[in-house]
Structure 1
């Protein structure tokens, strides 16, 4: 039998290339420590925001097209509760317009933990105000429950903005919104100490430039750790990380060059959130049977994971 040496070389090169690719993929998976968990409930097909409570429940919500509700699921993706609330009566069909992110932190009562849901999407840039809903974090659940809420209407100082990122700063006691689409996105803030049905004009605190073009630059989610020391922002292609110096403002922290954290590219990943201890972060994408990914934060100088 005659051996075709060129074919043998090509075969070996193909096998070596495949082996290297497999090792890279395994390495990425190991670094990410992702969980092979799927979101089962059919109504959770447009997940756009994520907040993880101190008892490790994951609060998530759909974006535009859903009614005024959000969900509690466990770390395995099983549905714990559908939480319904009173939305904006001017939105007759759904009660909300476009909920894009959810966050947690302090509020108007000292020592109490709250959930904040941001109805802040504005694809057409024509909303006169956006709305943040605040809920006292529940300690009892039923499969379908009504939850009391307060709301604040927020106006931008420079006209309507499309945004998908809502964060709670426990140090400055502020809501932080970051716009989505500009080459340099805007950083806006408002006090956490609002009263129900207040209308407040946001303060623009600065701008943030991230590398990339088009969709790769869009800021679609973010979170601040419970102690206020760590910040993560997510685009469609990357997760960026900052470590705060003391009690400096969020805008000052975001002026520094970020660190890219491990991230397995999702089909349309629009949700990120810290674990309660700040040593890990979770990502979930839109789409049916979306996977819950858990990533350890790499050990960095001065980080909370050390």
Structure 2
């Protein structure tokens, strides 16, 4: 276990005093990830077989395993995955036809070299003694050449997968069918408006990493399929789709934003199964687990 840096904890305790989007609470620290088995979390998803727990995956260069964390980020164990970790970047959980699944987004492409990518759908294991099995694979490419993508969400009711590009400005929102045979081409739905870009001060302070602060690193969809949460290194943003409308109408409005305390390399976000909480995790240890709570009406 790595020691927890006092300066990191001090910074994390400086939480914002107010949240502009009044329906969500201020962020709070729900726990801390300290185990080496999850030292590079790139995806987080609520478990539907273990209430109150979350599955996590590590980025490329790590073993192809699914790690189980409790709500406070404590490591409970892991199971091997039946697919290789080429460049895993996000994780989503969903139910379809009474069965529970996990989708691994093998979509990382920092160098813009991958011509074909894969979304691996696994049966969610019921216990740490049960290895997950591969249910199906969605193979796809981008419509106009390679791009990096670290943000994927699943809408089982609409039968679609949503993907958000990382380095494009503004970020692009794409759609793929949830179940399809053969090589698919991602469909561009539009772009996300209102995500602040690095300021001159950001770039002057750190010319290399300053430009990364507004890049999209993760996404998840609320259980009603109407709130798409998108994470950057500096904030949580979300797009809300009105009932009976599609994402094209939602993209016409700017995203709403939730402030986030400084956090090293935030790259994972997940709704709770009931949609009343959002959790954010980092790709570095020690990784705080930030939690936003949905406020009761009128509070």
What residue number does 2:80 align with?
84
- Of 245-254 and 211-220, the range deviating more from structure 2: 245-254
Structure 2 residue aligned with 1:67, among 40, 63, 69?
A: 63
Higher relative contact order (CA 8 A, sep 6+): 2
- Of 285-294 and 119-128, the range deviating more from structure 2: 285-294
Question: Could you tell me how far apart the structure 2 residues matched to 1:148 and 1:275 are?
Answer: 23
Contact 1:34–1:295 (CA under 8 A) maintained in structure 2: no
Unaligned runs of 5+ in 1: 1-20, 88-94
1:215-235, Cα deviation, whole Å (9 max, x unpaired)? 232011111111112221111
Question: Could you tell me how far apart the structure 2 residues matched to 1:173 and 1:138 are?
Answer: 22
Q: Secondary structure at the match of 2:26?
A: helix
Instruction: Classify 1:300/1:241 alpha carbon distance in 2 versus 1 (closer, same or farther; 3 Å).
Output: farther
Larger radius of gyration: 1
1:134-155, Cα deviation, whole Å (9 max, x unpaired)? 012222223xx53211322111
Q: Secondary structure at the match of 2:79?
A: strand
What residue number does 2:27 align with?
32
TM-score by length of 1: 0.80
Instruction: Classify 1:182/1:78 alpha carbon distance in 2 versus 1 (closer, same or farther; 3 Å).
Output: same
TM-score by length of 2: 0.82
Question: Could you tell me how far apart the structure 1 residues matched to 2:139 and 2:16 are?
Answer: 46
Contact 2:41–2:57 (CA under 8 A) maintained in structure 1: yes
1:129 correspondence with 2:124 = no
What residue number does 2:218 align with?
221
CA RMSD after TM alignment: 2.5
Question: Could you tell me how far apart the structure 2 residues matched to 1:85 and 1:48 are?
Answer: 15
Contact 1:282–1:293 (CA under 8 A) maintained in structure 2: yes
1:150-207, Cα deviation, whole Å (9 max, x unpaired)? 3221111111110000101234210111110011222111111235xx4222112212
Matches within 5 A, 1:52-201: 52-54=46-48, 55-87=51-83, 95-107=84-96, 110-142=97-129, 146-149=131-134, 150-195=136-181, 198-201=182-185
1:279 correspondence with 2:276 = yes
Question: Could you tell me how far apart the structure 1 residues matched to 2:251 and 2:223 are?
Answer: 18
Question: Could you tell me how far apart the structure 1 residues matched to 2:17 and 2:247 are?
Answer: 33
Q: CA offset at residue 118 of structure 1?
A: 0.2
Number of residue pairs matched?
268
Question: Could you tell me how far apart the structure 2 residues matched to 1:25 and 1:288 are?
Answer: 19
Q: Secondary structure at the match of 1:34?
A: strand
Question: Could you tell me how far apart the structure 1 residues matched to 2:16 and 2:267 are?
Answer: 24
Q: CA offset at residue 298 of structure 1?
A: 4.8
Q: CA offset at residue 52 of structure 1?
A: 1.1
What residue number does 2:258 align with?
261
Instruction: Classify 1:251/1:270 alpha carbon distance in 2 versus 1 (closer, same or farther; 3 Å).
Output: farther
Question: Could you tell me how far apart the structure 1 residues matched to 2:156 and 2:253 are?
Answer: 20
Contact 2:15–2:27 (CA under 8 A) maintained in structure 1: no
